[in-house]
Amino acid sequence: MDFELSAEQAEFRDLVREFARRSIAPVAREWELSGRYPTEIVDEMKAMGLFGMLVPEEYGGTAIDAVSYAIVFEEISRAWMGIAGILGSHSLATWMLAKYGTPEQRSRWLPALGTGERRSGIALTEPAAGSDLQGISTIARREGAHYIVSGSKTWITNARHADPLPVLVKTDPKAEPRHRGMSILMVEASTPGFTVGKDLDKLGYKGTESAEVFFADCRVPVDNLLGGVEGHGLQQALSALEFGRVNIAGRAVGVAQASLDRALAYAGQRRAFGRPIAEFQAIQLKLADMATEVQAARLLTWWAASALDAGRRADLETGMAKLYASEICIKASLESMRIHGGYGYSTEYEVERFYRDAPLMAIGEGTNDILRTVIARRLARDLETG
């Protein structure tokens, strides 16, 4: 077993780390607090080819491996997690297109998505349906060469920039079981009846917008049905979420590592009773636990990514990685805040941003409580099959 990155992966990590250190970290605090959109950072990510991470090379992408994919999200989130969100939803949309799209759909959209000329997201969640995706109420009714889509989605990252936007709909609301009546439509931004609503205010995860989207008798061409066959939408969405848990785990590791970095630096500088607080056992115990848990989360994330790279089913591995890394992220951000004392509660220090960003990772790509049931069911099934 090899727990080290390959030379190519390590070189790639260093490249992304330097980009995050140079172009993201210096502006993160100011832009996050002011609500400024990071246009310049997005442009640099385009030039680096990061929007084409999961786009096959034949369509102009870079098609990196899943471990390198996790590294991108760790290194960027270590500087500013909100920036990672701009890449996260987009990359899942390109992954779905590459895996499930028809040849015409891949040729039509992937080249521009791979360069960032076009960007995307993924529209699954509704006001009354989040963890239970089979409970969505957005309907797509077939009329000749079009689907007439009615409904709404919420918490959609990249909503204002997505073109096209993959949207989970019910093409047969009466189907039993329900998942057989679900499909994904690629909705282009100029489609009549498609509108983007207000940006939703959030505790953290700033830098990218999260908005509502609405479909009022929205006419979507039948050619925009992902894969060209109805009834596979839920499977396509869940497969994307399984892959996406690696990016959420990577983000969590990045924020946890940033929390640890700040705690170590502060503990070495802050003096109490005539010596640095890093010399006090109470602080040392916190730092030791944080460092151990962050590294464990990183290795678990790489393990899950390696399972994806091996091409095997990885819902157990990605579920474990996302669950553990996100819980450690929340814990590390809180412990870092405690080590900073009153300064940790001040917007003058970045620790409070880590504390606000951390909870998202326990919610996104499947809540942790849902993932615990997924893991337990998989364990039980493996036990039954020997």
CA dist 238 and 71 (Å) reads: 22
Please report the pLDDT score of residue 137 as a whole number: 96
Find the mean pLDDT for residues 290-317: 96
Least confident of 152-156, 159-163, 310-314: 310-314
Q: What is the pTM of this model?
A: 0.95
Does the structure show a pLDDT above 90 at 131?
Answer: no
Average pLDDT over residues 44-51: 98
Averaged pLDDT, 51-80 = 97
Q: Which domains does the chain have, with CATH numbers?
A: 7-115 (1.10.540.10), 133-232 (2.40.110.10), 235-385 (1.20.140.10)
The pLDDT value given to residue 2: 78
Share of the chain above pLDDT 70, in %: 99
Active site residues: 365
Question: Could you tell me the pLDDT band of residue 339, with boundaries at 50, 70 and 90?
Answer: very high
Mean of pLDDT values over 178-187: 97
The rounded distance, in Å, linking the Cα atoms of 41 and 29 is 14
- Residue 368's pLDDT is 96
